Structure 1
Amino acid sequence: MNEANLRAYNFNAGPSALPLEVLEKAQSELTNFRGTGMSIMEMSHRSAIFEEIHNGAISRMRKLFSIPDQYEVLFLQGGASLQFSMIPMNFLQVGQQAGYIMTGSWSEKAFKESKLFGEPYEVVSTKENKYRNIPALEDIQINEDDAFIHLTSNNTIYGTQWSAFPDTGDIPLIADMSSDIMSKPVDINKFGMIYAGAQKNLGPSGVTVVIVRKDLLEKANMDIPTILKYSTHADNNSLYNTPPTFGIYMLGEVLNWMEAKGGLEAIAKNNEEKAKVIYDAIDHSNGFYTGHATPESRSLMNITFRVADETLEKLFLTEAEEAGFVGLNGHRSVGGCRASTYNAVPLEACQALGDFMVQFQKKHS
């Protein structure tokens, strides 16, 4: 626990830590936003004030993430899980193939949904290696008539992350970036579409960011429900139906915070420093802690590891919770431990965890 402000050391995988400065500003504006006598949650999404908030968030995202003009920026709902269905609904014709690169549970779920709308195939999978690594770029072989290629940029459950992305040529590359979006600079031009839930790096749960190339929208299927067409939301500036207004307000404030921190270059450098502290505690433990991911595929967002034996692992998690660390349990499907070090997790929290890990090892070795 950080005694200075009584904030927990929050390593939750999502919803996850938000910047304290953003929370404090939201608190100060919660009941009377800009002298209106109303909360932002009470205002019409058609009001001039919300329009300014909404468009400001889009503008800041474009600037920070270097999003070219040929891409739409949409704020949707339903999380990444709805995108698993919307993507093939919009971009996959019956009988047409799409390639899925399998690196974990979320890739599997996206692949499963795509089967309902076409003929997806597995481009390559690391499942036999228990999803410990990201595929080598030379192992990615695609078909020239694929509708798209889909990948998950960071895998929260297994703690792996792409450090470089494949060149798919004229085939649109679609990436689920839910757990590492805007944690570092990315060349948007490599992608036909990027999507992400906001609840890890960008704000609270309830907002889904979609960055999609405009020419893909022109070729998309039209014989699907109106609200499930990306073109519907692009044509209406994401205001076809009532959007998650408070979530978009918070997202905009998080983007302001990121800009004040120096933008994505500075955010990326800080994320590398934070992750190194915890990985060093693992690597210097002489096997007391064991990382799940292979070193070349390690995530800077989700650090997954096991403790020497099951009894000690349970004790580690118990004592960590007593010491003020929250969210260190691994995903229920794999167990173990996981520290999620998203953008808003401060370096101080990672240093505290690294120190705790070292002391726990000394105590129990």
Structure 2
Amino acid sequence: MSAFSLEPQQVAWCAELRTLAAERLRPPAEKGEPGRVNRALVAELGRLGLLERLFTSGAVDLCLMRESLAYACTEAETALALQGLGAHPVHAHGTPAQRAHWLPRVSEGTAIAAFALSEPGAGSDAGALALRADAETARPDGAARWRLTGEKCWISNAPEADFCTVFARTTPGAGARGVTAFLVPADRPGLTGAALDMLSPHPIGTLDFDAVPVTADDVLGEVDGGFRVAMGTLNLFRPSVGAFAVGMAQAALDATLAHTAGRDAFGGKLKDLQTVAHQVAEMALRTEAARLMVYAAATAYDEGAPDVPKRAAMAKLLATETAQYVVDTAVQLHGARALRRGHLLEHLYREVRAPRIYEGASEVQRGIIAKELYASMEEAP
């Protein structure tokens, strides 16, 4: 497919997803408790076959799902995305046993996954992780064993997840090259956590590791190869964070078009004021530009292009900053009604802020883009 247009069947699928989100996913979403994992909603995503597509589709399909669900039900979009983020390392790097045990349950919506990378002192700087994986004395069977000690913070689906992809330092002083990814079931002794009360209504919390035991059977990928696992996951999900943002921006834009076309103001309609019409045009322009960059980055990922890190960072940066602008402008054009609890834009205003921070803040994305640009210059003949 072209990076700049969707096939008719993809357009039709997006419309179907919006309908499913409104009719099948919004009811359980509305019954959920803000800041808690909504297992009924996740189960419905499983019944609809959407969670299974996390492991059978490419980046473009992931973006189509996230944009379409975000447009009609942000809670459903977030539940889908968090399942994918926590379970993708198992799908991409897990052993046959790990995959056979966990992926069917994630696909069915009966197991909740978490991606445990950030720490109190290491958010966007993943190479500065401090969670220790202390090697135990060699056992007679020769199998490697570690004890995880430390804290993770700002972890989606924590502490309610059934298993976590956990990144811990196995080689002190080695920076990004000394981190290992582990699959840690929630029932391991020494693993506890607490929920955090956040501005956006996502399930986010802390995880505390008090000598939590892990073995070679729990490693995802290779020992000291966890940074590759983390960055590979983020390169896939960063463009789709952009798709989430585009879905929210489009919802805000459509609401603004309807409001300004029907609202009486100064002897005409609000849309008749040039300053309003130009603001709406700017909202549409930025939303479409962000959408094109998101799908260009997703296409590059699916095609195995060498510049995926740069494109993924650009897509997330542009789309999340754009969505913040579009939703804020929509609130301004709606006036006080948009600030009332329960209004679509009040909801989007709380939802839209977090994506500029998680999975790499906007400042980090700019750093990645600059680094990739200078690296490509040095590699040029």
Interval of TM-score (by shorter of Structure 1 and Structure 2): under 0.3
Q: Which has the higher contact order (CA 8 A, sep 6+)?
A: 1
Greater helix share, 1 or 2?
Answer: 2
TM-score by length of 2: 0.25
